[in-house]
Protein backbone atom coordinates (compact mmCIF):
# COMPACT_ATOMS: atom_id res chain seq x y z
CA UNK A 1 0.00 0.00 0.00
CA UNK A 2 2.76 2.49 0.93
CA UNK A 3 4.74 1.56 -2.19
CA UNK A 4 1.79 2.29 -4.50
CA UNK A 5 1.42 5.76 -2.94
CA UNK A 6 5.11 6.45 -3.65
CA UNK A 7 4.65 5.31 -7.26
CA UNK A 8 1.66 7.64 -7.60
CA UNK A 9 3.77 10.55 -6.29
CA UNK A 10 6.43 9.88 -8.90
CA UNK A 11 3.87 9.98 -11.69
CA UNK A 12 2.84 13.52 -10.67
CA UNK A 13 6.26 14.96 -11.53
CA UNK A 14 6.81 16.60 -14.91
CA UNK A 15 10.36 16.56 -16.23
CA UNK A 16 11.97 19.89 -17.15
CA UNK A 17 15.40 20.95 -18.33
CA UNK A 18 14.76 24.66 -17.71
CA UNK A 19 11.94 25.79 -15.39
CA UNK A 20 12.42 29.36 -16.64
CA UNK A 21 10.87 28.33 -19.96
CA UNK A 22 7.62 27.71 -18.06
CA UNK A 23 7.73 30.49 -15.44
CA UNK A 24 8.96 34.08 -15.15
CA UNK A 25 10.67 34.55 -11.77
CA UNK A 26 9.50 37.81 -10.19
CA UNK A 27 10.74 37.89 -6.58
CA UNK A 28 11.93 35.76 -3.66
CA UNK A 29 9.17 35.07 -1.14
CA UNK A 30 11.27 33.04 1.31
CA UNK A 31 14.15 30.63 1.75
CA UNK A 32 15.32 27.81 3.96
CA UNK A 33 18.08 25.24 4.26
CA UNK A 34 16.99 23.14 1.28
CA UNK A 35 14.62 25.37 -0.67
CA UNK A 36 13.65 28.82 -1.89
CA UNK A 37 10.16 30.07 -2.69
CA UNK A 38 9.62 32.50 -5.56
CA UNK A 39 6.71 34.51 -6.88
CA UNK A 40 6.43 33.37 -10.49
CA UNK A 41 4.21 34.05 -13.48
CA UNK A 42 3.27 31.17 -15.73
CA UNK A 43 4.30 32.14 -19.27
CA UNK A 44 1.32 30.54 -21.05
CA UNK A 45 -1.53 31.73 -18.80
CA UNK A 46 -0.08 34.75 -17.00
CA UNK A 47 -1.24 33.29 -13.68
CA UNK A 48 0.79 33.99 -10.54
CA UNK A 49 2.02 31.16 -8.32
CA UNK A 50 4.42 30.46 -5.49
CA UNK A 51 7.17 28.15 -6.76
CA UNK A 52 9.06 26.16 -4.13
CA UNK A 53 12.47 25.18 -5.55
CA UNK A 54 13.99 22.29 -3.61
CA UNK A 55 17.63 21.54 -4.35
CA UNK A 56 18.44 17.86 -4.68
CA UNK A 57 21.12 16.84 -2.20
CA UNK A 58 22.21 13.73 -0.31
CA UNK A 59 21.04 15.38 2.93
CA UNK A 60 17.51 15.83 1.57
CA UNK A 61 15.72 12.51 1.30
CA UNK A 62 13.42 11.91 -1.65
CA UNK A 63 10.92 10.19 0.66
CA UNK A 64 10.49 13.44 2.62
CA UNK A 65 9.48 15.22 -0.57
CA UNK A 66 7.16 12.40 -1.59
CA UNK A 67 5.48 12.63 1.84
CA UNK A 68 5.06 16.42 1.53
CA UNK A 69 3.56 16.02 -1.94
CA UNK A 70 1.16 13.29 -0.80
CA UNK A 71 -0.07 15.43 2.11
CA UNK A 72 -0.47 18.58 0.00
CA UNK A 73 -2.38 16.65 -2.70
CA UNK A 74 -4.86 15.26 -0.15
CA UNK A 75 -5.52 18.32 2.02
CA UNK A 76 -8.05 20.87 0.85
CA UNK A 77 -8.39 23.74 3.32
CA UNK A 78 -8.67 27.50 2.94
CA UNK A 79 -5.65 28.08 5.22
CA UNK A 80 -3.35 25.62 3.42
CA UNK A 81 -1.88 26.36 0.00
CA UNK A 82 -3.05 24.17 -2.86
CA UNK A 83 -0.42 22.23 -4.75
CA UNK A 84 -1.03 22.86 -8.46
CA UNK A 85 1.82 21.03 -10.16
CA UNK A 86 5.21 19.39 -9.69
CA UNK A 87 8.29 19.57 -11.90
CA UNK A 88 11.65 17.83 -11.63
CA UNK A 89 15.01 18.69 -13.19
CA UNK A 90 18.39 17.06 -12.72
CA UNK A 91 19.19 19.47 -9.86
CA UNK A 92 15.83 20.50 -8.33
CA UNK A 93 12.25 19.62 -7.53
CA UNK A 94 9.70 22.41 -8.13
CA UNK A 95 6.36 22.59 -6.32
CA UNK A 96 3.88 24.98 -7.96
CA UNK A 97 1.44 26.32 -5.36
CA UNK A 98 -1.43 28.79 -5.31
CA UNK A 99 -0.75 32.11 -3.67
Of the candidates 10, 55, 45, the one whose C-alpha atom is nearest the C-alpha of residue 24 is 45
- Are 79 and 72 spatial neighbours (Cβ–Cβ below 8 Å)? no
First to last CA, the chain: 32
Please indicate if the annotation marks 56 as binding a ligand: yes
Q: Please, where are the H alpha helices in the chain?
A: 2-12, 62-74
- What residue numbers does the annotated binding site cover? 56
- What residue numbers does the annotated binding site for ATP cover? 56
Amino acid sequence: MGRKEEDDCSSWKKQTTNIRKTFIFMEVLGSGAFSEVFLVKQRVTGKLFALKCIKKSPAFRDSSLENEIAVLKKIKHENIVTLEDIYESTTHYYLVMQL
